[in-house]
Amino acid sequence: MSNYHIKHLEEYYQVYRKSVREPEHFWEEIAEEHFLWRKKWDKVLEWDFTKPEIKWFEGAKLNITENCIDRHLATRGDKTAILFEPNNPEEGAEHITYRQLYHRVNKFANVLKEQGVKKGDRVCIYVPMIPELAISILACARIGAIHSVVFAGFSATALATRINDSDCKMVITSDGSYRGAKTIDLKGIVDEALESCDNVETVLVAKRINSNINMKEGRDKWLQPLLDKASDQLKAEVMNAEDPLFILYTSGSTGKPKGMVHTTAGYMVYTAYTFKNAFQYREGDVYWCTADIGWITGHSYIVYGPLANGATTVMFEGVPSYPDFGRFWDIVEKHKITQFYTAPTAIRALAKQGVELVEKYNLSSLKVLGSVGEPINEEAWHWYNDNIGKGQSPIIDSWWQTETGGIMITPIPYVTPTKPTYATLPFIGIQPCLMDENGEELKGNQVEGRLCIKYPWPSIARTIWGNHQRYKETYFSAFNNKYFTGDGALRDEVGYYRITGRVDDVIIVSGHNLGTAPIEDAINEHPAVSESAIVGFPHDVKGSALYGYITLKDVGESRNHDNLRIEINQLISDRVGPIAKLDKIQFTNGLPKTRSGKIMRRILRKIAEKDTSNLGDISTLLNPECVQEIIDNAL
Ligand code: WT7
């Protein structure tokens, strides 16, 4: 059991040093002792960041679902694997044991096979937070189909773009979804999306809200009758270590979303190992991550990481405000949650509600609190620590990305002393560094720069689906022989890292990673709009909110600006999703541009942040005169 469960700080340093000195040996030991392999690897690691090419455990054969389900049956068959907490608390929780999960995944996998899905095919999963979401993911993995989950809050346009990009032949969805007191017509969104997706042959529909929906002859099929007929036995497909497990889209600063490709063995090893340590998971714990499985957080730390450890993982369908703002704490008390993992935006929203709603509940089961998705500000950190953890449960501020597959910088609870707003130390095996703008590494402590990683770790995304060149340019070209994260960070006097935020045009709103390009594209579709630029500005709940600068075609146009604002936000909502709506819209006569025509977002960002004291040299702009006008009319 060497090195699998870190218990104190000295051990951390000792294991960390080993993982850096002999990475291959280190990961080989972890892989060897804690997983089920059909065949062991020929080589632990092969890598070249210039191509870039990264391969872990080449030659090994396995199926990740045998590691997440089958191998637990002998000892944990009757233990709850997935604890489903529905939107409406009165519906009552559902406990799915490991044995039930095994049967349900097998049935689902058999249905996929009958419907013609084969190893390597892409399947789009557009399902709300109901058990079928986790089960369909595992069913794909069981037969070697590549799942591409699209968050079920995305619009028809966003869904269609993703379906087409990875050429999915099947979509799995539900009739609709619950969201607090509202229902959402998911199937309607799928129907609209599929008008522009010619290659989708089959749509499987789970029943959740019993709404009246259209079923297209020959294409759409109700899931339940197919499951009822299917066998609950199925031999898992034997996969190669580097076979793709899934695609998950993330926004870039330009262009269409990037389909990050994660492969099988390395992803499994790293998510399982980080889950065990970053949450100090122990048998008997009830672990709850509040994220949606539509994001990487849910893939790695609701589904794969916890199940690979034989844990009980909670899936919550609802929202923090329904039936009231005490819902999270009600769930913690009811299920005696031991590890609670959420996002700063949720903490800030709940902190606004006052502590009475917290004090009603017994939160004494909690041992570890987690935060992820964006920098956690000092005030939110203390509120979380004082009111939820009662000063007793360490907060792990965990930094990572869709691209990294697993947690990269984090305190290990009860091991690493925490410090508010600091993600603290690199996880075992992770070699971060800070770079200056000239591409030089900043050595020593008390430095600030761009955060890069020097050496591969097992769960790094291997490519962008269909566009390896873009993968290389985005992550491996900014700094020689290093993975560039897109984030800025500082390292304090003891070597703790603090993530300071994105240094590119990605904006994190309520923990959701939004690229500027698709939002600007949506705005520019409006017939009255000539061009637009969006930037983030500080927001007390969302972390950052969106500020749009929009130039109209006919500047003298007499159209009502408030109506235009509503129309533009509606377009964004339709094209990208409601989370991307603009909080502020300023109509301008022009946008500041470089001589090569690139919009100077840096200046617009400063104006949105109300920090115009130091705009830098604007004399080199193509149109410096527009800057003063924008400042004068800023919102
Ligand atoms: C970006 C990645 C990783 C799962 C959720 C987001 C920001 C994430 C932290 C943190 C400061 C953070 C970074 C990163 N971020 N966690 N603990 N402290 N910033 O995944 O959508 O791929 O976004 O989220 O800017 O690059 P994602």
Report how far ligand 1's centroid is from the alpha carbon of 374 (Å): 5
For the Cβ of 278 lying below 6 angstroms from any atom of ligand 1, the answer is no
Task: With cut-offs at 50, 70 and 90, classify the pLDDT of residue 513.
Answer: confident
Do residues 215 and 222 lie in contact, with contact meaning Cβ atoms separated by under 8 Å? yes
Residue 406 pLDDT exceeds 60 = yes
Q: What residues have CB less than 8 Å from 607, skipping those under 6 apart?
A: 630, 631, 634
407 lines ligand 1 (CB under 6 A): no
Determine the distance separating the centroid of ligand 1 and the alpha carbon of 499, expressed in angstroms: 9
In Å, how far from its chain's centre is CA 109? 25
| Distance from Cα 410 to the centre of ligand 1, integer Å | 12
DSSP state for residue 599 in the 8-state scheme: B
Mean pLDDT of the region 476-491: 96
Q: Which of 56, 27, 83 is nearest to 306 (CA)?
A: 83
ipTM (interface pTM): 0.99
Question: pLDDT-derived band of residue 254, with 50, 70 and 90 as boundaries?
Answer: low
Mean pLDDT of 304-310: 98
In three-state secondary structure terms, 276 is: helix
Q: Identify any residues that bridge with 487 across adjacent strands, giving them in sequence order.
A: 502
- What three-state secondary structure class fits 594? coil
CA-nearest residue, atom 2 of ligand 1? 401
- Atom in ligand 1 nearest the alpha carbon of residue 376: 18
Q: Is 253 in the pocket of ligand 1 (CB under 6 A)?
A: no
Q: Counting beta carbons within 10 angstroms of the beta carbon of residue 528, is it exposed (0 to 12), middle (13 to 18) or buried (19 or more)? A: middle
Amino acid at 112: L
pLDDT at 1: 44
Predicted local distance difference test score (pLDDT) of residue 253:
62
Asked if 293 and 135 count as a contact pair (C-beta separation under 8 A), the reply is: no
- Beta-carbon contacts of residue 120 (< 8 Å; ≥ 6 apart): 144, 145, 146, 243, 244
404-436 CB burial, b ≥16 within 10 A, e <16: bbbbbbbbbbebbebbbbbbbbbbbbbbbbbbe
List the beta strands (DSSP E) in 16-151. Answer: 43-48, 53-58, 61-62, 80-85, 94-97, 122-126, 146-149
- The predicted model gives 229-236 an average pLDDT of 98
Question: DSSP H helical segments within 54-174, as ranges?
Answer: 64-68, 73-76, 98-114, 131-143, 156-165
Does the Cβ of 280 fall within 6 Å of ligand 1?
no
Nearest residue (by CA) to ligand 1, atom 7, is 374
Q: Confirm whether pTM is higher than 0.80.
A: yes
Helix-helix angle 156-165:186-194, to 10 degrees: 50
Contact 190, 173 (CB under 8 A): yes
Question: d(Cα 270, Cα 9) in Å, to the nearest integer?
Answer: 20
Asked which of 110-124, 332-346, 532-546, 588-602 is least confident by mean pLDDT, the reply is 588-602
For ligand 1, whether the C-beta of 158 sits within 6 Å is no
CB of 107 within 6 A of ligand 1: the answer is: no
Our answer on whether the CB atom of 296 is closer than 6 Å to any ligand 1 atom is yes
Query: What separation in Å is there between the alpha carbon of 421 and the centre of ligand 1?
Result: 13
Mean pLDDT of 524-535: 91
250 lines ligand 1 (CB under 6 A): yes
